Structure 1
Amino acid sequence: MLPRRRALLAGLSLPALLTACGPRSAVAQRGLLPDFADLAERVLPAVVNIAVTSEQAATIPPEFRGTPLERHFRNRRERVQGAGSGFIIDASGLVVTNNHVVGQASRLTVSLQGGQEVQATLIGGDELTDLALLRIEGRTDLTALPWGSSASMRVGNWVMAAGNPFGLGGTVTTGIVSARGRDLGAGPFDDFIQTDAAINPGNSGGPLFNTAGEVIGINTAIYSPSGANAGIGFATPSDLARPVIETLRRDGQVARGWLGVQVQDVVAEDARTGRRAVLVAGVDRAGPAARSGLRAGDIVTGINGETIETSRTLVRNIAAMPPGQTVRLSVLRDRRQIELRLQVGRRPGGPA
């Protein structure tokens, strides 16, 4: 039995506290607090841990820079170990995770829930959405998870996260969708689901489930002053992730469109509208924008007839286009509206 003083500190009399917390709680009887045990048992066989081994150039100690020993360090390679999470989307052995989990891995080892370790190969990754697809070697009988619709999720809906926090192994945490459409400034495709389900280092790449056991997000980032869970985690929505994963599965790469410009948000100097638009702050001389006559100082107000008000929207729309596609930009130049046709290039740094 709880001490009476402790019960009063909670703002309840002792009988009221026992009634609220006991097995006959009205809240529990109404079914407002779900039991995730059956859900966890069903989905955990498809959640995996990913061990990553990569090599990088050795760090040169400051005291050896400029000495004969600097060459010795430059020729050394250091082996780096990392860990993350993932989930199986096809019984043939396809695994989804974050691109930052696999990095420049020279070796990928996937641990199944039963403890078995199998080698995996990277099919492909996409830096802008931070997604990657792996293939487990030698297995065709695995449990796979279904995709769900992230668009159907509402603030306040229950969710369950699963993964490998701090390298501890299969772990589930629960919470709610605490916000949607979060922009973290990580890239043009930021549209994160925010959740208070505990997300920690090592959870990256793991699934975020709805109560039906469908994957509605891929756990990607946390906000934390300490590096541990602070009640705010972020997941890439399944509606954004699914087509990227299907493209990686089909082509092994995601070819992103590119104009070769630096842009920023402005209010267009147009007395007729005064609307928000996108200023071209700089133009890459070797890029497709320069070849098509786009100049620094131009203000982009539309793309293919649709109004553009933010640089993020412009970059996102162009990045979603396949290289080689022609796009029509509405441009304000010297207070005059003109139209330019550009052929979208291939984003540098992507697959050749």
Structure 2
Amino acid sequence: MILLAALAAPVAAVPARADMPFLVQSGPLTFAPLVKKVVPAVVNIAVTQDVEDDDTRVKVPPALRGTPFEKQFRERMRSRKEQMLGAGSGFVIDPSGIIVTNNHVVGQADKITVSFSDGTELPAKLLGSDDLTDIAVIQVKTDHPLPFVTWGRSQDVQIGDWILAAGNPFGLGSSVTAGIVSARGRDIGAGPFDDFLQLDAPINPGNSGGPSFDMRGQVVALNTAIVSPTGGSVGIGFGIPSELVAPIVDQLRTKGHIDRGWLGVTLENAPGGVSIVSVDKGGPGQRAGLHAGDLVTSVNGEHVDSNRGLIRTVAAAAPGSTIRLALQRKGKPVDVLVVVGRRTEGPS
């Protein structure tokens, strides 16, 4: 009782200072104009696999379990010789029918079905996918131009900026949520190129592959993962920044796969740059004269301050191209030209 009384005691008002401007004026009164602009380009993706056994039990994807759609899904799938592998989201980036999603959404599907907000369903084919970044590109055929969205500049996104996420949470379809960017540059152990935006807009199973928009209606992130002890949103979601997604999508559209650069060295973070721990025998680094103990400070004049940043920069270089590394070797500056090799699957 004494504590409650103390808490209820009046507090003297602090006078406002006229020389201190408001840092936040107001939030948006409504997201409705933004939603109307972008939602027609956001799609739901269903992935199935053919089965031969008529008695195969229907497996419900996690995104539909416990939802009103679970019973409908079971009845629908029992009449077909196919098994649902998953459900997710995607977004159209070209009116001809090019759609971006996550690789883990489309997986090893025999059949991909895309549903639009107007109820239209179209079959899709996989144009290309990339395991290391969890990005995939699919395509539908259509006799008319489709609504589409454009890439925004994720490098301009600041912590605290508004964000709008759209997708297919728990199979509900055409759902949007809003929040802010909570952090940048998150490494969640998903792969060697982790550089996620952390979002607090509610993202749930089924949102994977969907877009997050800035307030201009441009895509600044590809929603990919959540951290949750319950399986649902607890306000910690992760999206791949558009500056990383867009160039990979361009390669997948044209070639169906990603060619990545490789140095053939083992790296670790160090004060002032990135230290080379070891050099692979016969690799590009050894051929260029790199040594264990070298401290890499920049690539092609751009400063590097982490091993992840250096790996991403080298990976973005075309195999066979030449890059210039600025080093500190035994306290002396050294410039080394390296002909980049081709990265294969694996941790190196």
Q: Out of 269, 274, 292, which is 1:278 matched to?
A: 274
Q: Tell me the SS of whatever aligns to 2:308.
A: helix
Structure 1 residues 32 and 333, CA, compared in 2 at 3 Å: closer, same or farther? closer
Q: Tell me the SS of whatever aligns to 1:264.
A: strand
Contact 1:87 1:145 in 2 (8 A): yes
The residue number in structure 2 matching 1:248 is 252
Is 1:315 paired with 2:311?
A: yes
Is 1:156 paired with 2:151?
A: no
The residue number in structure 2 matching 1:53 is 48
- The alignment's C-alpha RMSD in Å is 3.0
Structure 1 residues 107 and 146, CA, compared in 2 at 3 Å: closer, same or farther? same
Structure 1 CA distance, aligned partners of 2:206 and 2:104?
Answer: 11
Structure 1 CA distance, aligned partners of 2:295 and 2:345?
Answer: 27
Is 1:92 paired with 2:96?
A: yes
What is the aligned-residue identity percentage?
52
The residue number in structure 1 matching 2:264 is 260
Is 1:34 paired with 2:29?
A: yes
Q: Which runs of 5+ in 2 are unaligned?
A: 1-7, 9-24, 52-81
Structure 1 CA distance, aligned partners of 2:286 and 2:41?
Answer: 48
Q: CA deviation at 1:232?
A: 1.5
Q: Tell me the SS of whatever aligns to 1:239.
A: helix
Contact 1:265 1:311 in 2 (8 A): yes
AA in 1 matched with 2:87: A
Is 1:179 paired with 2:174?
A: no
Q: Tell me the SS of whatever aligns to 2:222.
A: strand
Structure 2 CA distance, aligned partners of 1:302 and 1:250?
Answer: 31
Is 1:216 paired with 2:211?
A: no
Structure 2 CA distance, aligned partners of 1:132 and 1:305?
Answer: 32
Contact 2:193 2:312 in 1 (8 A): yes
Q: Tell me the SS of whatever aligns to 1:42.
A: helix
Q: Tell me the SS of whatever aligns to 1:177.
A: strand
AA in 1 matched with 2:161: N
TM-score (norm 1): 0.73
AA in 2 matched with 1:149: R
Contact 1:93 1:140 in 2 (8 A): no
Structure 2 CA distance, aligned partners of 1:284 and 1:80?
Answer: 44
Structure 2 CA distance, aligned partners of 1:31 and 1:335?
Answer: 52
Structure 2 CA distance, aligned partners of 1:39 and 1:306?
Answer: 36
Q: Tell me the SS of whatever aligns to 1:250.
A: helix
> What CA deviation, in whole Å up to 9, does each residue of 1:148-167 have, x standing for no partner?
33344333333221111122
The residue number in structure 1 matching 2:147 is 143
What count of residue pairs does the alignment treat as equivalent?
293
Structure 1 residues 54 and 339, CA, compared in 2 at 3 Å: closer, same or farther? farther
Structure 2 CA distance, aligned partners of 1:302 and 1:161?
Answer: 35
AA in 2 matched with 1:90: D
Q: CA deviation at 1:49?
A: 1.0
Structure 1 residues 310 and 237, CA, compared in 2 at 3 Å: closer, same or farther? closer
Structure 1 CA distance, aligned partners of 2:317 and 2:159?
Answer: 31
Structure 2 CA distance, aligned partners of 1:139 and 1:173?
Answer: 31
AA in 1 matched with 2:284: P
Contact 1:328 1:340 in 2 (8 A): yes
Structure 2 CA distance, aligned partners of 1:139 and 1:158?
Answer: 36
TM-score (norm 2): 0.73
Q: Which runs of 5+ in 1 are unaligned?
A: 1-10, 12-29, 57-77, 268-275
Q: Tell me the SS of whatever aligns to 2:198.
A: strand
Contact 1:263 1:280 in 2 (8 A): yes
Q: Which stretch of the first structure deviates more once superposed, 201-210 or 138-147?
A: 138-147
> What CA deviation, in whole Å up to 9, does each residue of 1:76-120 have, x standing for no partner?
xx9660121001111111101122222333322212223332111
Structure 1 CA distance, aligned partners of 2:316 and 2:150?
Answer: 25
Contact 2:127 2:137 in 1 (8 A): yes
Q: Tell me the SS of whatever aligns to 1:263.
A: strand
Contact 1:188 1:313 in 2 (8 A): no
Q: Out of 289, 296, 302, which is 1:300 matched to?
A: 296
The residue number in structure 1 matching 2:60 is none
Structure 1 residues 140 and 291, CA, compared in 2 at 3 Å: closer, same or farther? farther
AA in 2 matched with 1:46: A
What is the correspondence of 1:93-108 to structure 2 with a 5 Å cutoff?
Answer: 93-108=97-112
Q: CA deviation at 1:168?
A: 2.6
AA in 1 matched with 2:277: A
Structure 2 CA distance, aligned partners of 1:43 and 1:302?
Answer: 39
> What CA deviation, in whole Å up to 9, does each residue of 1:16-63 have, x standing for no partner?
xxxxxxxxxxxxxx974522234323322211111223589xxxxxxx
